[in-house]
Structure 1
Amino acid sequence: MSIASELDKAQKLIGQSKYKDAQAIYDRVQPSLERISSYDLTVKYYGDQGILNFYQGDFTGAFSKFEMAYEQAVDNKHEIDQMRYLNNMGAAMTYKGDLKGSVSVQEKSITLAKKLNDTLQLSKSLNNLGLVYDEMGELDRALGLYEKAIKLKLTLGLKEEALTTRLNIAGIKLALGKKKDSSLIQSALYEYQQILKDAQELDKPKTTLQALNNSAIIYKIQGDTARAMSVYKDVFKKAELLKDDEVYRVAALNLGINYYQKHEDDIAAKYLFIAEPIIESNSMPTERAKLYKYLSYLYKAQGNDDKAYSYLESYTLAKDSLSNELLQDKIANFEIKYSTAEKEQEILKQRATLAEKALEIQKSNQVITLVSVGAVFIFLLGLLFYRQQKIKNAQLTKEKELEKAMAQIEIQNKLQEQRLRISRDLHDNIGSQLTFLISSIDNLNYGQKLGRQTTSEKLSELSNYTRTTIDELRDTIWAMNKNNISIDDIHDRTNTMVAKININSQDSFLVETQFEENMNITFNAIQGMHIFRIIQESLNNAIKYAQAHLILIKSAKEENNLIITIIDNGKGFDIEQQSLGNGLKNMQDRASMMESNLEITSTLQEGTHVALTIPI
C-alpha cells in the first residue's frame, strides 16, 4: 500500500475515534516518508497527526505537529495550507490556555481566509475566536461569534463541521441559563440530545461523549444526581477506552467534584488526582481553576492547611489570568479589523451592483438615442443622484470621524480613571508601608548603637512588613486588570488572605469565613476593591488591637442588599471615647463612595461587630 493510501486510512480511523490504530500507521510510514521529498505527503503527515493529538486531548503535541505543517506550508509558499494550520494552531493554543497567542494566529488565519475567499476556514476562525471569549466568560460576545460560524458552515452544507459549534452554542445557553434565564437550561439539554442523535448517525464517538457529559451537567442542575453520576461514569470508562484525554479528564474532574459534594472525600480525591496531571499539561485556565479550587477544599477538610493554601493560590492565579485587560483589547482590535473587512466586501458588492446598473442605463440610452428629451432627463437624474450620493458620502465621513473622536475620548477617560484608582491605592497602602520600612531601617541603625532590640528581631519585623506590602501591591494589580469583580472573586481573595493569616497565627487565634454561595452579584473594579479593602482593614484591626480568639467574616444576600460582617470576640472598645483613626475613616469613606452603609458597634470585654450594607 502506498504512503498516500496509508495516510488516508489513518485519517478515516481518526474520524472513527480509533486513535491507537491511526498512530500505528503514522509510526509505520515515518521511515518511508523520510526517504522521499514530497510536500503534499509531509504536510498531511504532520497536520493529520496534529488532529489525532488534538482529539486525544494532547494539545501541546497537537500544536507542535500543526506548527511543523505550517512551517512546511510557509517554505513552499502554500497560502491555503498556511491558513488551515494557523487556524488549527490557534485552537490548540486556546485549549492550552495561551489566549493571547491564539488571538494572534487567528488574526493571521482570518486575514488569509478573507484574501483567499475561503468561507470554511473563516467559519473555523470565528468559532475559535468565540472559544477565547467563552473561556474569558464573555458569553454574549462568544455566542455572537459562534452563530456567525455556524451560519457559514450550514450555508456550505457542512453538517459534521457544525457539530462542534453546536456544542459550543449549547454550552453558552447552559451558562446563561445558570446566570440569567433558567428556561435556557432546558433548551440546552434539548440541543445536546439532538447533537447526540446526529453524532451517532455520523459515527462521531468523541462528539457523542461530549454531548453525554454536558447532558449530565444539566441532570445535576435539575436535581437528578444519580442519573448525572451514572452518565459521568459511563463517559469516563468510554473515554479511557478511546484514549481520549480531553473527555477523560473532564469526566474525571466532574466525578471528583460530585463525590466531594456528596462528602465522599476518598473517592473524590481518586478522581481529582486522575484529572490533575492531564489538566495541568493540557487544559484551559477554567478547568485548572476548578481543579485547584476543589483540591484546596479537599485538603482543607483533611486539615492540611499548607496544601489547601497552595492550591488556593494556584486557583486565584488561574482565575485572574482570564481577566487580562490587554487580552481583551487585543481581541477587540481583532474584531474591529474583521468588521472592517466585512464592510469593505459589502462596498465592493455595492460597486459591482452600481456598475451593472450603469451598463443597463448605457444600453437603454443606445435604444433611445433619438429621443433627446429622454436623454436630457436621464442625464439630469444621474447628476442629481451623483450629488446626493456625494453629500451622503461626506456625511458618512463626518460621522465616522465623530465616532473615532468619541472613541478616543472614551479611551482617555478610562485611562484617567485607571490612573486615579492606582494612584490612590498606592498612596493609601503601599506608600505608607514603604515609609514605615524606611523608618524601621533608620531605627534599626540607631537601636544597634544603643544596644536595644536585636537585629534579627527587627529584620524579622521588616520581612513580615515587606510581605504585607507585596500582597497590597498584588491586590491593587488584581483589581486594575479587571473590568468587573464578582462577589465570588472577593470571596476567593478573602479566603486566600485568611488561609495565610491562619498559617502564620501559631494557633493564637482563628479566622473563619461563612460565605453564601451562588449569589451572582457583580461590581465594577473600583467598588470591588473598596469592599475588599474594608474587609481587609476590619480584619487587620481585629488582629492588631482586639486580642480576639475568634474572628468571623460572613456574607449574605438580604432582599436588595449584600451584607458583609466581620465579628470578633476580643476586648472591644468604647466608641464614644475612641477617636476616629485613619483606618476607620478610610473604611467610612470607601463605604460612602459606594453609597453604602458601614456600621461599627463594640462592647467592652465582648467584642466588635462591623457590618457593611451594600445596595444591589
Structure 2
Amino acid sequence: MTFIKRLILVSLFQILAISSFAQSIFDVLDSLKNELQLKKNPAEKVPILSDLTWYYVQVSLDTAILYGEEAIELSKEIDDPVLLSQAYSDLAYAWMEKGELVNARQNYEAALELRYEIGDSSKIYGTITNLGSVYQRDFQSDSAMSNYLKALSFFEREGNEKNADFIRNNIGVIYLELKNYPKALEILEQVAKYREENEDYHNLATTLNNLGSIHKHLGDDEKSEEVYKQALEIYQDIGDAYYTSTTYNNLATLYNSQKRSKLAIEFAEEGLKLAEQAGASYDYTLLLSNLAQSYRDLRDFEKSREYYLKSVEGFKAQNAEEDLMTMYLLMSPVYAALNMPDSSAYYTDEYIDLLRKLNEQEILELTSDLETRYQTEKKDREIAEQRLVLRTKNIQLFGSLGLALVLALVGYLLNKQQKLRNRQLQQEADLKAALAQIETQNQLQEQRMIISRDLHDNIGAQLTFIISAIENLKYFDPIKDSLTKRYDSIADFTKQTITDLRDTIWAMNAGQITWEQLSGRISNFLQNAKTSASQVDFEFQKDESIDSDFRLTSSSGIQVYRIMQEAIQNAIKYASPDQIKVTVVREGQNFLLNVEDDGTGFVESEITPGNGLFNMRKRAEELGGKILIQSNRGRGTSIQLTCPLG
C-alpha cells in the first residue's frame, strides 16, 4: 500500500470534540477515569465511557475499543437510544482509526439508524459525514463524495461553517486520492487558511499533512518538508501521539524518496516510539518498512532484512496484502545482495503468488458484479470464459470488463432516459386532461352565466310586467271590488316567484357558496318573513365553530336554503306560531339545520301530505342527508336537516 493510502482523513466526530485538545490528553484521561469510579448510575457512566473511547483513540486504539464496547453494552441495558447512538459513533471512530473499516461502517450505520428515530438532524448529518470518511478510507470515492455533499448542503443551510469546513477538507482529500493535485491544493489551502484564522490547530495540522503530500507529488519537496514540519510542531505541542507518529512517517517517506536515509532513520525511529505508545499497529508497521528501505539504501542489507521481516509480520497481522506484496518484492534484492539466492527466489515466488491471488480477487469482484447485472446463462458462461482466459492476460480481461461495464452503463442510461420520456409523456397526458377539465368547467360556467342572465332579463322582466299590469287592473272601477283580493294573491305569488328566481340566479352565479354567504341569505329571508308576518318573533342562531370560508356547491347550498324556506313558510301558513327559531350547528362531520316553531303542530298520519314535506325529504336525499320531522298537535313542530359537511 503506497503512502497515498495513508492520508489523514478528518471525520466529523473529531470536529465536534476537538476543542478539548487545549488540555493535556493524559490529564483528560486521568480526570475521566477518576470520574467514572465515582459514578454509580449507569446513565451517568455511559457518557464518560464514550469520552474515554474517543480520547483513547489518540493514545491506545485497543483500549479505546474496549471502552467503546463497554459503553454500548451499558447503553443497551438502560435502553437509552441517545446514549447508545453516541456509543456506536465513538466505537466506530476507534475502529476506523485502527483500519477496521467494516466494523467502523457497521457501527456508524447503527448510530445513524438510531439518530433517524430520535430526529436529531445535526447528529444525523454528522454521522453521514463519518460514513463518508469510512467510504473514503475504503477508496469508494463516489459513495464518500455523495455522503459529504449531502452533509455539506445541510451544514451550509444551518450556517454551521465549522462543520462545513471540515467536510470541504475531506472533499479536498478525495481530489488528492484521485490525483487531481491542482484541485486538491486549491481546496485544502482555503481550508488551512480558515483553520489558522480560527485557531483550530489540531485540524490545521491534518490539513498541512495533506498539503505536504500534494507538494510532494507535484515535485516540490522543499515545500512538502516545510508543511510536514509545521504539522509535526502542532501535534507535538498538543501531545497527540497518534498523529505525531503519522507525521514522522510522512517525513521519513519523503526523506527516503530524496535518498536522505540517515535523516529518514532518525524520524522513523521517533515515530516508532509514538506509534507503539498510541497502539497504532498499522502506522508502526509502515515505519518499520521505511527503516528497512533506509538501511537498504545505506547498503546495510542485514539490518534492512531484519526490518523487512518485522514489516512482513506486521502486515500479515493487519491483513494488508498489498503492502505485504510490496515487501516481498523489495526483500528479494536484499537477499540477493546477502548472497542468499534461495531466499531471494522464495520471496520472488511469494510476490508472484500474492500478485496472482490479488488479481484473481479483483477479477472475481468485477465479474461478480457483471453476473448480478445480467443473470443469464449465456452471460455467466461468457464471464466464466473471461476468468479462465484473463488470469494470464490481465490486460484483455480489464478491457473486456471495462467494455461490459460501459455497455451496462449505457443500457442503464438508456433505460433511465426511456423511463424519463415515459414519465414526461404521462405528465403531458395528465396536463391535457386537466386542461380539458378546466375548459369544460369554464364552458359550464359560461352556460350557467348565460342561463342566469336569460332568467333575469327575460323571465324576471316578464314577471315584473305581470305585477305592474295587475297593480294597474286593480284600479278599474267595474271590477275593482270583486277581483282586488284575487289580484293581490296573484301579485304576491308573482313577487314570491321573483324572489325564488333571484335566489336561483344567485346560486347559479356563485358556483360555490360559502357558509358566510348562506347564513347571510338565511338572515335576509327571516327579515323579509318578519315584514309579512309581523306577529311572529324570528330568531337565528349559528354555530361559531363552522368556518366562515367553508364552502358548499351551489346546488347543495340552494337545497339547504329551500328546505329552511319551505319549513318557515309552512309554519307561518298552517301553524299560527308566535316564535320561529332557526339553528345551525356542527356535530362532528355533520351540518345540522333545525327550524322550530311553537305553533299548533300536527300529526303527520292525520293530514293529507302535500308537496312541501315531500320536497323537503327529496332535497335532503339529494344532499346525502336526512330530514327528521317531530310534531305533536298543540306542541309545535321541529324540522331537522342533517347532512355531511364535505
TM-score, scaled relative to structure 2: 0.46
**Of the two, which has the highest radius of gyration?**
2
TM-score, scaled relative to structure 1: 0.48
